[in-house]
Amino acid sequence: MIEVPETRYVKSGDVNIAYQVVGDGPFDLVHVPPFVSNLELQWEDPAERRYFERLASFSRLFMFDKRGTGLSDRVAVATLEERMDDLRAVMDAAGSQRAAIYGGSEGGALSILFAVTYPDRVSALALYGAYPRMTWAPDYPEGIPEDVWTDGLRHLEEHWGRGLEGGLPLWALAPGRVDDPAFRRAHGRWERLSASPGAAVAIQQMIRELDVRHLLPAIRVPTLVVYRTADMGHAAGSRYLGAHIPGAKVVELQGDEYFPYLGDQDAILDEVEEFLTGVRPLHVPDRSLATVLFTDIVSSTQRAAALGDDEWTRMLDHHDALTAREVERHRGRTVNTTGDGMLATFDGPARAVRCAQAICAGVRTLGLEVRAGLHTGEVELRGDDIGGIAVHIGQRVSALAGPAEVLVSSTVKDLVAGSGITFVDRGFHVLKGVPDEWRLFAVEN
């Protein structure tokens, strides 16, 4: 795991621009962020951290917060030309004469302008989910109509940073996570720490007027355009870029998540790494034996409706703190939270069972009940995340548990022999998507 890099500052005119440098690869790579960002916050989310660690694994990676956002000076919204000056200032401060530029979404337009203006300083251009224009025009029918812009800007300012109802339309940008309250709370915090509501609206107004289509024929550096086909807000713009940038390599990937670190991030990063290095990475998954524990709050939807968003959010915060404390006390590792539950791993199945029992008992003080499921097997280590059939089995076992019940696979039951933990046979079950029948056991309290 890469150590979180130091945040530094460089003056671009009278404005302080925050930037970081990480990695020691054979070439320089500048990551141009989309819309808004926060350099230090991006290292807190495991998926996002893995994304940037991967970029830094094959390059010397430069990252920065654009003026008016994140840790850079919170000044009035800037033009693309001023932001181009900021990018150049970061490269100069890091001692880079020439670099590959990797821009996403609105950052793609800035990357294009820089590549055209300073072709001698750009070795290659990679664009993810980028677009030349976002607003509808007679010659750009894929754009957003004016009335939709107006409604969207009003919603953004009124709801910016509000967690469960944030400023950005997560139903379109992260459909796979929109029903995850923990993700939505974290996203609300990201909005608040990346820009103020007024700054977010001003930047969106700038994006509304943005149009770099006339620059595309002038791009003379090798260019990659990659996007996810079901990301409707950006796919049309990326297709336009691919059709109008001379010699561009265009890669369509499956998926509907806008944020590149969500979903199959390796599919995107494999294309970027191969394009910039000429070598496609070979993934050999790390594997380890572990006991996986899934917990899930019983009747969470009904409880949330009865309590209301604010009270339910406070309840979830107490639940998350309690489960994290018990996992740590039993020498486990919380992998992620799932909105109304969590996934953790343990190097010993007996500790995992006792942790599950402690969580079931502990949440009763909050007026909650959880179900828990455990399985021991070989898991794939994907940075801070895990995968593999053992994870699926653990999740399926958890779904079959009753309120306040700890249900385990026969593998767990056999491995804790001699521990003093007793079980009740729950018979054989078919686990959805998992071969064969599985014998399950409930832990006796």
Question: Tell me, what's the pLDDT at 146?
Answer: 93
Q: How far apart are the first and last CA of the chain?
A: 39
- The arithmetic mean of pLDDT across residues 328-350, rounded, is 90
Q: Name the nearest CA neighbour of 284 among 376, 377, 381, 378.
A: 381
Q: Where residue 164 falls among pLDDT bands split at 50, 70, 90? A: low
Domains of the chain: 8-277 (3.40.50.1820), 286-443 (3.30.70.1230)
Structure tokens at 4: 């979180």
Q: What average pLDDT is seen over the chain?
A: 92
Q: Where residue 441 falls among pLDDT bands split at 50, 70, 90? A: very high
Q: How far is CA 422 from the centre of its chain?
A: 40
Q: How many whole angstroms separate alpha carbon 229 and alpha carbon 227?
A: 6
Q: Where residue 414 falls among pLDDT bands split at 50, 70, 90? A: very high
* Per-range mean pLDDT, top range of 42-51, 158-167, 228-237, 395-404: 395-404
Question: Tell me, what's the pLDDT at 432?
Answer: 84
Q: SS3 for 32?
A: strand
* Per-range mean pLDDT, top range of 38-47, 75-84, 283-292: 38-47
Out of 37-41, 212-216, 249-253, 381-385, which region has the weakest mean confidence (pLDDT)? 381-385
pLDDT digits (tens, 9 = 90+) for 177-193: 877 877 888 889 999 99
Out of 103-117, 222-236, 303-317, 344-358, which region has the weakest mean confidence (pLDDT)? 303-317
Q: What's the per-residue H, E or C state across the chain? A: CCCCCCCEEEEECCEEEEEEEECCCCCEEEEECCCCCCCCHHHCCHHHHHHHHHHHHCCEEEEECCCCCCCCCCCCCCCHHHHHHHHHHHHHHCCCCCEEEEEECHHHHHHHHHHHHCHHHEEEEEEECCCCECECECCECCCECHHHHHHHHHHHHHHCCCHHHCCCCHHHHCCCCCCCHHHHHHHHHHHHHHCCHHHHHHHHHHHHHCECHHHHHHCCCCEEEEEECCCHHHHHHHHHHHHHCCCCEEEEECCCCCCCCCCCHHHHHHHHHHHHHCCCCCCCCEEEEEEEEEEEECCHHHHHHHHCHHHHHHHHHHHHHHHHHHHHHCCCEEEEECCCEEEEEECCHHHHHHHHHHHHHHHHCCCCCEEEEEEEEEEEEECCEEECHHHHHHHHHHHHCCCCCEEEEHHHHHHCCCCCCCEEEEEEEECCCCCCEEEEEEECC
Share above pLDDT 70 across residues of the chain, in percent, rounded to a whole number: 98
- The arithmetic mean of pLDDT across residues 228-250, rounded, is 92
Is 291:267 a contact under the CB 8 Å cutoff?
no
- The arithmetic mean of pLDDT across residues 28-45, rounded, is 94
DSSP E strands: which ranges in 46-175? 60-64, 99-104, 122-128
